[in-house]
Structure formats: structure tokens, C-alpha cells
Amino acid sequence: MKYIEININCSAERYSGGIIIIPTRHRAALIRDFGKPLTIEEVPTPAPKDAEVLVKVISAGICHSDIHLWAGDYRPVGVPKTLPWILSHEITGVVVAKGDKVPETIKVGDRVLVYPWGFAEEDERTLSGYTQLARKRARLSIDIPGGLQEYLLVQHYRYIVNIDGLEDPQAVAPLACAGLTTYNAVKKIKPYVGPDEHVLVVGLGGLGTYAVQWIRALLPHANLLVADIRDEAIEFVSKLVKIDAAVNPVKEDPVKTITEITKGEGVKAVIDLVGLSQTIGTYLKTLTTLGVYAMVGLMSYEASIPVPHVIRNEIKIFGVYTGSLGDQHEVIKHARKGSINYVKAISKRFRFEEKEVNEAIKSVAEAKHLGRVIVVL
């Protein structure tokens, strides 16, 4: 492909003493058939209008939901709407052009994270800060094409979060989903956890990698327990933060072990990143009186809960879905303050080539890597 300097009819600007080169067409990784390898092909580069922003992609994270989209698992609920489709909702990039209503605080050349949980229409939820729960959602890779391509048109400048000051912009990408969702979950349990109380993270995959770090950052005086059926996953997070105790339910009775660890008290909060009927049914029982359960993982349609335990202990269960734009800004501020190590959370970086992109998909589908996987453009 030949790159030329073009006028794409918007405020592309010179910056850093150089010139922004925006091609009229760019490469994108496309789903042409569900479950078949992605193909990298050329697509037109759109010009941003009004409040839109054009971003040259730096990095695109691969999330489990991308695997489901790719496999066609969500066709029963109508997503994606069409083929071909472009995956990835964890995007960092550089602003290369912007519409005429984009404020001056957003500049060509800015390194940014794209908040992916946008909406098509403002409503009372978006106006109350629940941007991710809009009636008409416009989520990257789910409702609108994602960022596994060289240039991404962002619908509105409000979704642009400046990441200047973060040294590894590639590694920042998963903070838009894995990092954001776990932050939302930990914020929800935070008011309920006092000093020296116990918090349990169930499931130490991509999200767990961030969850344990948020707990250490936001609840430094809590005791951190983790549960996973893979010892290597426990080992992986143990290198990121201090774990007070770990449980492998394959090897031991988790309720019994946790009861012992907590001297009969039980845990005050659970972050369930798995969401199997088995995890929900089991770990709700480990909660003490006035405990809270954050349901994040979505691996089952139905789960059985122990009704008397929930009632007699006035337990609270919170559904957690991604996070708001307000949360997203806080996540980046935390990253800047060093609250979490977002670099070590990345276990593998793939290049934006057909073979590697498909390896990245396969890697997540088969849970080959701990931590989070990104494609670097």
C-alpha cells in the first residue's frame, strides 16, 4: 500500500514539526465468516465531521467477547449486525484529524484511549453518568465496527481519553475493558470493606489480572484472597501484587478453606469474574453478614443462589457491566499515579499481520496466555 498525504476534508493538522499522513484507504482485520480466520483487507478511511475524531490505532486488545463475536455466538441476540465485521474494543491511538465541533483541548497528535461503551442517543441514564447503560448503545466491536484496523473513526470527542504521560501506550489498551470493568467492580464493593476484612477474587484470567491490582490500590488495608483452578494463574497474579491466600477449588473445598483462612468469619466481598453457576453458588456462601458480591463474569445463563444465606445476612449482589466514561477517566488517572502495573498485565503482543492476528484470536479462544493479549499496529 502506498501512503500519500491527502486532504480528507477535516482539520488534520501538522504536528510535532511533521505532517499527518492519512491514507484514503487503510488495512482492517475483517470477519468474513463466523469462526473462520480473519482477513486483512483495505477499507476506506472516513473523514471526521462535527464532534467526530479520527484516531490512528496504536494497539487493539483481544477480549473474550471478541471470541464470541467471531464465533457467531451472539447471533441469537443480533450482533454483529452485518458481515464483514471488525473486532476489538480496547483501543489506543493517536488523534490524526477531528471534526469542527471538537474542542481545542483535544489536539491532533494526542495519544488517547478510546472509551468503547458509547451510545447512539443520550438518555436519562447517560445523563446520570451511566454511559455504558444507554438505551441505544453504540459499543465498539459490538454495535459498531471495532478497532482492529489502522484508523478508527470515533463517534464523539467525549469518548477520547488523553493518555499522555503513560509510557507504554500499547499496553494501555485493555484498560478500556478488562481494566475498566474490574475498576467498576472494585468501586462497587469498596464502601463495604473495612480494614483487615477479606476480599476474594474468583477467576484469574485477563480480568483477574487487573482486579487484584485494583483491590490492592483501592483497598490497601483489606486481605486479598484469590481462587482459580489453575495454579499457574495464581502464580501469575502473585507476581503482580501480594496475595494473602489462594484457593484452588480443584484441590480443596473452597468454602471450608476460606472459612479457615478467615477464622470462621467469611469474606466481606467477592469479585466473581467467572460467573458459572458453580462459582456463584459456591462463593456466595463464603460471604459474611452484610457482605457484597460483584457479579462480573458471564459464563452461564442461570445460576443458583442460596436464598436463606442471602436473606439472613442481608447480603447484596451487584451486577457489573463494563464501566462508565467517568470510571474510564479515573482508570487512566490511576494508571498515571502508578496505582496499577498495566504493562505487566500484558502477557503477549501480536503484530498486525494476518497470521499473527489469527494467532491472537486463537490464543484468547484457547486461554493460552495469562494476563491480557494485544495486537500492536
Can you give the binding site for a second copy, defined by CB under 8 A? 50, 103, 105, 121-122, 124-125, 127-131, 133, 157-158, 191, 194-196, 217, 220-221, 275, 277, 280-281, 289-290, 295-296, 298, 300-308, 310-321, 324-326, 329-330, 333-334, 336-337, 339
- Give the separation between CA 91 and CA 341, rounded to whole angstroms: 18
- Smallest distance, Å, CB 346 to a second copy? 21
Nearer to a second copy, 137 or 369 (CB): 137
Q: How many CB atoms lie within 10 A of CB 111?
A: 17
Supply the minimum distance, in Å, between the C-beta of residue 321 and a second copy: 5
Question: Of 262, 266, 306, nearest to 287 (Cα)?
Answer: 266
Local structure of residue 45 (DSSP, 8 states) = P
CB-neighbour burial class of residue 83 (10 A; exposed 0-12, middle 13-18, buried 19+): exposed
Q: Closer to a second copy at the Cβ: 4 or 311?
A: 311
Alpha-helical runs (H) found in 201-244: 206-218, 231-238
Which is closer to a second copy, CB of 4 or CB of 307?
307
> Rounded to the nearest whole angstrom, what is the least distance from the CB of residue 303 to a second copy in the complex?
5
CB of 295 to a second copy, least distance (A): 6
Least distance to a second copy, CB of residue 126, Å: 8
Coil, strand or helix at 354: helix
Nearer to a second copy, 35 or 326 (CB): 326
Q: Do residues 159 and 118 touch, judged by C-beta distance below 8 A?
A: yes
Measured CA distances, 133 to 54, 84, 94, 221 (Å) = 25, 26, 27, 32
d(CA 369, CA 205): 9
Give φ, ψ of 83 to 5 degrees. -120, 150
CB of 194 or CB of 231, closer to a second copy? 194
Is residue 87 a contact partner of residue 148, using CB atoms and an 8 Å limit? yes
State the nearest-atom distance from the C-beta of 31 to a second copy, in Å: 22
In whole angstroms, the minimum distance from the beta carbon of 122 to a second copy comes to: 5
Under DSSP, the state recorded for 35 is: T
Compare residues 23 and 203 and give the one whose CB is closer to a second copy: 203
Q: In the complex with a second copy, which residue's Cβ is closer, 293 or 352?
A: 293
117 or 352: whose CB is closer to a second copy?
117
- The CA-CA-CA angle for residues 235, 240, 244, to 5°, reads 65
- Would you state the cell numbers that stand for residue 324, as one nine-digit string? 462508565
Q: SS3 for 353?
A: coil
In the numeric block, which cell numbers belong to residue 122? 443520550
* CB 219 to a second copy: min, Å: 10
